[in-house]
Amino acid sequence: MIAKIISMLQILISRATSNIKCFRALQLILVTLLIVSCGVKTSTKNESSPVKTETVIADEIDINSKDLETFPFAVIDNVPVYPGCESYTSNEEQMLCFSRKIEEFAMLNFNTGLAQELKLTGVNRIIILFKIDKQGDVTDIKVRAPHPKLEEEARRVIQKLPKMTPGKQKGKAAGVMYSLPIVFEIHTVNK
C-alpha cells in the first residue's frame, strides 16, 4: 500500500515538473519572439539610413572560354603579384599577401577626415572595383560611395597603386578584376 502511495506521489511530482518545464519553454519562446520582433524594428530603422547599398548580380563566367581575357581574382590560376609579395610561392599565399597589401595601401592613403568634413554619420560603405591589366597596371576603376567626393577620393587612392606583376590564366598574362570594400563608421560626439 505504501509503495502504491509513493508511486502515485512520484507520478504527481513528475507531472508537476513536466508542467513547469512546459511553462518555462513557453516563456522562452515568448521572450525569443519579443526579441526577434524588436530586432526587426531596428533593422527597419537602418534601412532608412543614408548609406547606399546595392546588390550586384554577376553573370555566369565561363572560365574555360578562350576569348575571355579578364578573370575574377578568386578564380585566376595565378593572381597578380603586388610588390613585396614575390617571396610567396603558393597562389593562396600570394592572394592573402595581395589582399593585405591593397588594404594597407588604401588605409594609409585614404583621406579619413573627408567623411567628417562631409558630415557623414554612422556606417559608410565604399565599393571599389578595378582591373589589373595584362601589363600589371590598374585600369577600369569603378566606385560606389554614399557621396561623390568619397568616390573621387577612392578613385585617387586606387590610381596611385604601384605597377604589379600581371595575373596569369593557363600560363598567359590576363586581366584580373578585384573588388575592394571599404567600410568605416563615423561616431558623433554629443556636446
The fold of the 70-186 domain, in CATH, is 3.30.1150
- What is each CA distance from 159 to 77, 138, 141, 163, in whole angstroms? 25, 7, 8, 10
Confidence of residue 39 (pLDDT cuts 50, 70, 90): very low
* Joined grid coordinates for residue 10: 512520484
Per-residue pLDDT tens over the stretch 114-171: 888 888 888 888 999 999 999 999 999 999 998 899 999 999 999 999 999 999 999 8
Domain ranges of the chain: 1-46, 70-186
